[in-house]
Structures are given as C-alpha cells and as structure tokens.
Chains A and B, each alone.
Chain A
C-alpha cells in the first residue's frame, strides 16, 4: 500500500511537469560510522526524474540501490534500497563547463543485511542526503555530473552515515 501511494504521487508529480530531467548516477559509498567496520566500500546506482521547476531549481523522485560487501572477502552483504524525494539547485544552469549545484534528498531506506546463509530482519528507516555537484555539458543534449554526498539513515539507536562519490548523466526531456 505504501508503495502504491508513493508511485501514485510520483505519477502526479511527473504528469504535472512540463520539462523533466532524467538522470542516472553511479557512485561509491564509504561508511563513516562503526557500522561499516566489517564492510567494504559500497557501490551505488540511482535513477531519478526531476521536474525542472525553474532554470535553477528542480525536484522529483529517485530510486537508488547500494550494495556493500565484506571487508575480509567474506560472505556478508548489506543492501540499501532508497525511494526518495530529491531536489537540486544549480547556480549556473546555462554553464557548459561549470554549473555548480547543491542537491538534497529525503526518503525511506530499506536496509537488508545477510551473511553466511543468514539474514537479519530488514529495517525501513527515514534517511536524508545532501551533496554538492559539478554539472557540465557532454554534448548531444546530455549533461554530466560529478560530486559528493553525505547521507544519514536515521535508524533506531544508531544512525548509518556514509559519504559517497557520485558520477551521473542526465538529459532534459520536454513533454
């Protein structure tokens, strides 16, 4: 039911938009707390659709998936699935080479841990994310983006904080 509602609101947000920025990002995540002691660097992938509200401001929805493995080549893996509400503000949206911006996101994170045939109960927790971006044109109506994010999963008793490097590509689509 929760998912149906989120998708319904996504559809509303998308349908009411005129210009959409479709984006895909990949990245590497580094845990910053003790929760990452037994884990290696994580790999992220994200898809997003952002409504271009003004030249500088855009907002919309995204879904990201992150996977962490064991630090000792063991069998542990931790996955995050994060449906989220995203927003971004860019200072020089007309800039071909240098278009700095800030992005933020808020949503839910499903954290699932498994190791050696076992799986802990998955946890659904709110999370937030802020980051800086360097956006630039790569030709053919596509734009590239690099940046760094800091995110925090607001789990019970202890948060799951991490820093990530992001590399993205996006394209504006007019409806």
Chain B
C-alpha cells in the first residue's frame, strides 16, 4: 500500500500545480454573446464625435412568417431570432431609384452561430435582381464575419470579448445605359462581451462604445 501512496500523491501534486494553459472556456461557452431575447433590454452607446445611440428590444413580432424580436436601433427597426445554436437577422436590402424605394432582398439569414471561436469564419451571400419602372436592378451582396481574437474591449471595461471583423460588400447595378455597377464596401470591428452583447463597434466613419446596459425580462 505504501508503494501506491507515493505515485498517487505525486500525480495529485502535478495536477494541482498545473495551472498553465487554463482559460475560462466554459464561461465563454455558457455566456450569451448577443442577448437580444430579453424584451426591455437596452444598450446605450456613445458615438465618437458626439451623440448617443439607444438600442432596445421592443417586443416580439412576426417577420417573414417567423416569430422574432423587434429591436429599435436609433430610428430603425431590426429583427432578430435567437435560436439555441445560432442567431438570425432579417436582411432587408433596399435601394432608392428615381425617387422610389425598391426592395431588393428580404430574407432571414444566420448572423452568427454559437459557440464562437478564435478564427471562426462565416460568409453569407445573396444575388438577386428587381425590376422597377421597367428597369432591372441587380444586387450582389456578400458578408464575411471572422473572429479575430479574444480580448478585453477597447475601453478596458469588458473581459473575454470576441473581437469580430465583418466585411460587407454590396454591388448594385442599374441595368440601363449610362449606369455602372455601384460597389459599397463596409468594414466593421465589433466587440461582443459575454451576457452583454455588442460593447463597441468601429467603422471607417463612426465609432460606438457602450456606456450603459440594462437587461430586460
């Protein structure tokens, strides 16, 4: 029995001493990185250069024949569905043509699927066209989301954030003489904090930082 005690104690010491290589993986896996399924939740962001953006979950409604959460972001509504393994966003792409708003693409699309990981990547695309006033307008859209790393938010307030980079390219082409394809490229850096959601977002022309978060019911 004594011969047995030595290796047992040795292994226990090794196990107890091995603190290296640890990270809160289970905390991240259990956290909700986009908690839009609590009605009444509100995020208040300060806009770099002045101003405030309020984002709040208003209610549950129906969009595209599916039940979803309606989120008021500034003056615009967005629509989300939170599933167990992924979150969906209602893509509503429109373009102004000759004074008319032309709907180009409306559909539910997966925004992110859980759990996030460093190096995670997903690309969504849509290619369609619409006819308005006898003119065809083609629409090609692509969005790539890549998780760059796990960091603290830029303001240093939120730990274990996933730093997400999004690249979104839209090509609208009015198929008529004198028109060329119009390409718009947007790059976003988004920081998602556990059980809070988006705590910072930067684009080429704006920067948001979360100043207050109130969780709804």
Contacts and interface: CB of A to CB of B under 8 A. Distances in A.
Q: Do A and B bind each other?
A: yes
Contact of B26 (A6, A115, A119, A160): A160
B7 A72 contact: no
Interface residues of B, number: 41
A124 interface: yes
A157 B24 contact: yes
Interface residues of A, number: 51
Interface string A138-171: 0000000000000001011111100000000000
Interface string B2-31: 011011101110111010111111111111
Interface string B21-43: 11111111111000000000000
A71 B8 CA distance: 38
28 contacts: A2-B18, A9-B10, A12-B7, A13-B7, A16-B3, A34-B30, A35-B26, A35-B29, A38-B29, A38-B85, A59-B8, A72-B84, A76-B85, A76-B113, A85-B11, A113-B115, A114-B117, A115-B114, A115-B116, A115-B120, A116-B120, A116-B122, A118-B119, A118-B121, A119-B117, A119-B119, A121-B23, A158-B26
Given A12-B7, A34-B30, A156-B24, A117 B121 contact: yes
A118 B22 contact: no
**Best-surrounded residue of B1, B18, B115 (most CB of chain A within 10 A):** B115
Interface string A33-58: 11111110000000000010100000
Contacts of A124: 18, 20-22
Given A38-B85, A72-B113, A120-B117, A156 B27 contact: yes
Nearest to A51: B4
B102 interface: no
A74 interface: yes
B118 interface: yes
Contacts of B20: 124
Interface of B, secondary structure class, is mixed
B150 interface: yes
Nearest to B115: A38
A158 to B, nearest CB: 4
Contacts of B115: 38, 76, 113, 115, 120
Contact of A118 (B15, B30, B117): B117
A135 interface: no
Contact of A126 (B1, B6, B10, B15): B15
A53 B1 contact: yes
Contacts of A76: 85, 113-115, 117
Interface in B95-130: 113-122
A170 to B, nearest CB: 20
B27 A157 contact: yes
